[in-house]
Chain A
């Protein structure tokens, strides 16, 4: 049976920070309880905006080339895999070199683990776990034709520019039609950075899955029935 691998799309604007992707990802037995999807607050001091990050599966992977142990391999479907266990020496080169900040080092088992596009599922014709559980389609697995028809207001691109480096990826990101390349202009972004980021990062570590603590109902103040449950307008329902 030949399985046709489809395309993976990230639509950052749709992420609502629910972290269902991370919870679903953690179910997989190849990385046993550790999520490989990372959902980050984009500017935690200023806004609740979040963005999901999975491995972009670069066509020329910086992680694999910077690995001193030859432990990171790309398969015939363009999927960049977690490091090979017998070889990986957990040196952290891949983690630090990856332009998307994706690989995770497990010091205890001396291995780098990362998103492998749910190889066990996609190789059997299924969607990756994160795409299955994402409620808004921010992470989506489909054919290119279906995606173009379903989301005509955006276009998928797979080229990134980090300073002088152009990176081409197997994964696509949805952007406005006049954009051809995702330019990450960090000198300008860093100059515009504001807010107590360190505090935000610490809070994120403290509350990894729940997000930041908001007003919590106490025992004395029971949650009113129906609170927080709204109804979707037609446009919103269509959007979902």
Chain B
């Protein structure tokens, strides 16, 4: 009992109440949109209830982790600066703001040129996985939440289906056509993208000596195994109903459901969280494009312009919040803190500091 009290006390101390509130609100909002979007659960597919609860859990976890992350002093600084610059009227002149945003979205999120520079095969694998996952998410979540469902349209002369979004018929599609084939097989397409992607990445992880040196099972292999399991069991479902007259379908459906639920629950904890974290690069794009126009910081030793002055000042503030105090002892009042000396300057000064303490006493 005493142990239990100690543990619950520790848990309460570790808990981030602000993030807890935000995560609870976000989960509740998602719950409300599920109820409203599925017209009071009328269009909700009860067979998918496991997916729904796993998604609600994932939403809670993701918002909780994201909120805690944003309270870190350096993250908060960039978050604040990113929004400040995005909303800055100066950057909206000549539509610079949307152009910076568009360029960052295309380069960092759509094309992911930096992954290409890491290695083309890595890029190929990552793009396939990313494209497959995005496609699968676009199909799965609206279906699971009951936001999208299909009703029968005309029977003759050409049978049609009506796509219902939030209970409103938005589009009628021919039952036998390319559009309907793609609509009903989008998840198959997604798995055909994800599986080769996972294979490329796995292959690289097994043979690339650089990757082998630092990778870990839980961090680097587990998410790949989960994605493969989801895609492969999903593909088996299709094989079962398309070619084997539904042979073993119920068991396969159960297996697939558990792999998806497992992956959804894993989302807030592991590597896949980067999907939500990565868009922070957009804020950095603003920061950098803005800073490049501003006054640079000059190293007091080497004289080089090593960074934008705003960034070095922001960093001094962040370090102070983190309880680091790199301010000088003695010296004139304008002496910069240690962190406002360029990296090259710091290294040179460290060498000189060593010479000073050696004081000709070499051994």
Chain A residues with CB under 8 Å of chain B are 12-13, 28-32, 38, 40-43, 49-51, 53, 62, 65-70, 81-82, 85-87, 89-93, 95-103, 108-111, 116, 119-120, 151, 153-154, 162-165, 173, 175-176, 179, 182-191, 193, 197-198, 201
Contact of B354 among A38, A51, A190 (CB under 8 A): A51
A179 to B330 CA separation, bound complex (whole angstroms): 20
Q: Are A70 and B347 in contact (CB under 8 A)?
A: no
Q: Are B325 and A119 in contact (CB under 8 A)?
A: no
Q: Are A190 and B335 in contact (CB under 8 A)?
A: yes
A-B contact pairs, 30 of them (CB 8 A): A28-B213, A29-B213, A40-B351, A42-B348, A62-B322, A65-B322, A69-B277, A70-B277, A86-B271, A87-B277, A91-B287, A93-B318, A96-B311, A97-B315, A99-B339, A101-B343, A101-B347, A102-B343, A103-B343, A110-B281, A151-B363, A163-B326, A164-B326, A176-B359, A184-B338, A185-B330, A185-B356, A189-B356, A197-B303, A198-B302
A21 to B284 CA separation, bound complex (whole angstroms): 34
Contacting residues of chain B (308-363) with chain A, CB-CB under 8 angstroms = 311-312, 315, 318-319, 322, 324-332, 335, 337-339, 341-359, 361-363
Instruction: Tell me if B75 is interfacial: C-beta within 8 Å of chain A.
Output: yes
Instruction: Tell me if B110 is interfacial: C-beta within 8 Å of chain A.
Output: no
Q: Are B318 and A186 in contact (CB under 8 A)?
A: no
Q: Which residue of A lies closest to B208 (CB)?
A: A29
A164 to B316 CA separation, bound complex (whole angstroms): 14
Chain A contacts for B351, CB-based, 8 A: 12, 40, 42-43, 49-51
Q: Are A96 and B69 in contact (CB under 8 A)?
A: no
In whole Å, how far is A81's beta carbon from the nearest beta carbon of chain B?
Answer: 7
Contact of A187 among B115, B335, B350 (CB under 8 A): B335
Q: Which residue of A lies closest to B297 (CB)?
A: A96
Instruction: Tell me if B117 is interfacial: C-beta within 8 Å of chain A.
Output: yes
In whole Å, how far is B263's beta carbon from the nearest beta carbon of chain A?
Answer: 16
Contact of A89 among B281, B300, B363 (CB under 8 A): B281
Q: Are A86 and B274 in contact (CB under 8 A)?
A: yes
Contact of A49 among B325, B339, B355 (CB under 8 A): B355
A190 to B336 CA separation, bound complex (whole angstroms): 11
Contact of A98 among B117, B284, B343 (CB under 8 A): B343
Q: Are B349 and A189 in contact (CB under 8 A)?
A: yes
Q: Knowing A53-B347, A53-B350, A189-B352 are in contact, say whether A197-B326 is a contact too (CB < 8 A).
A: no
A224 to B358 CA separation, bound complex (whole angstroms): 38
Interface residue SS majority, chain A: loop
- Number of contacting residues on B, CB 8 A? 72
A111 to B117 CA separation, bound complex (whole angstroms): 11
In whole Å, how far is A134's beta carbon from the nearest beta carbon of chain B?
Answer: 16
- What 1/0 flags go to B181-223 for Cβ under 8 Å of A? 0000000000000000000000000001110111000000000
A162 to B108 CA separation, bound complex (whole angstroms): 37
- What 1/0 flags go to B228-245 for Cβ under 8 Å of A? 000000000000000000
Q: Which residue of B lies closest to A121 (CB)?
A: B213
Instruction: Tell me if B301 is interfacial: C-beta within 8 Å of chain A.
Output: yes
Closest 10 CB pairs of A and B: A187-B331, A101-B343, A120-B213, A42-B351, A29-B210, A153-B363, A51-B351, A101-B346, A86-B274, A110-B114
A38 to B344 CA separation, bound complex (whole angstroms): 9
A201 to B77 CA separation, bound complex (whole angstroms): 32
Q: Which residue of B lies closest to A181 (CB)?
A: B357
Q: Which residue of B lies closest to A38 (CB)?
A: B347
Chain A contacts for B335, CB-based, 8 A: 186-187, 190
Instruction: Tell me if B278 is interfacial: C-beta within 8 Å of chain A.
Output: yes
Chain A contacts for B339, CB-based, 8 A: 96-97, 99
Q: Are A116 and B214 in contact (CB under 8 A)?
A: yes
Q: A29-B213, A176-B357 are in contact. List 6 more A-B contacts (CB 8 A).
A: A12-B358, A51-B351, A87-B274, A151-B363, A165-B326, A176-B363
A93 to B312 CA separation, bound complex (whole angstroms): 9
Chain B contacts for A86, CB-based, 8 A: 271, 274, 278
In whole Å, how far is A190's beta carbon from the nearest beta carbon of chain B?
Answer: 6
Q: Are B319 and A97 in contact (CB under 8 A)?
A: yes
Chain A contacts for B338, CB-based, 8 A: 99, 162-163, 165, 184, 186
In whole Å, how far is A240's beta carbon from the nearest beta carbon of chain B?
Answer: 13
Chain B contacts for A53, CB-based, 8 A: 347, 350
Chain A contacts for B348, CB-based, 8 A: 40-43, 51
In whole Å, how far is A23's beta carbon from the nearest beta carbon of chain B?
Answer: 18
Contact of A163 among B69, B108, B304, B329 (CB under 8 A): B329
Q: Are A165 and B324 in contact (CB under 8 A)?
A: yes
Q: Which residue of A lies closest to B219 (CB)?
A: A84
Q: Are A119 and B214 in contact (CB under 8 A)?
A: yes
Q: Are A187 and B332 in contact (CB under 8 A)?
A: yes
Q: Are B346 and A32 in contact (CB under 8 A)?
A: no
Contact of B344 among A101, A162, A179 (CB under 8 A): A101
In whole Å, how far is B109's beta carbon from the nearest beta carbon of chain A?
Answer: 12
Q: Are B363 and A201 in contact (CB under 8 A)?
A: no
A114 to B311 CA separation, bound complex (whole angstroms): 21
Q: Which residue of B lies closest to A99 (CB)?
A: B338
Q: Are B324 and A92 in contact (CB under 8 A)?
A: no
Q: Are A12 and B354 in contact (CB under 8 A)?
A: yes
Q: Are B350 and A100 in contact (CB under 8 A)?
A: yes
Q: Which residue of B lies closest to A162 (CB)?
A: B338
Q: Which residue of B lies closest to A157 (CB)?
A: B357
Q: Are A198 and B78 in contact (CB under 8 A)?
A: no
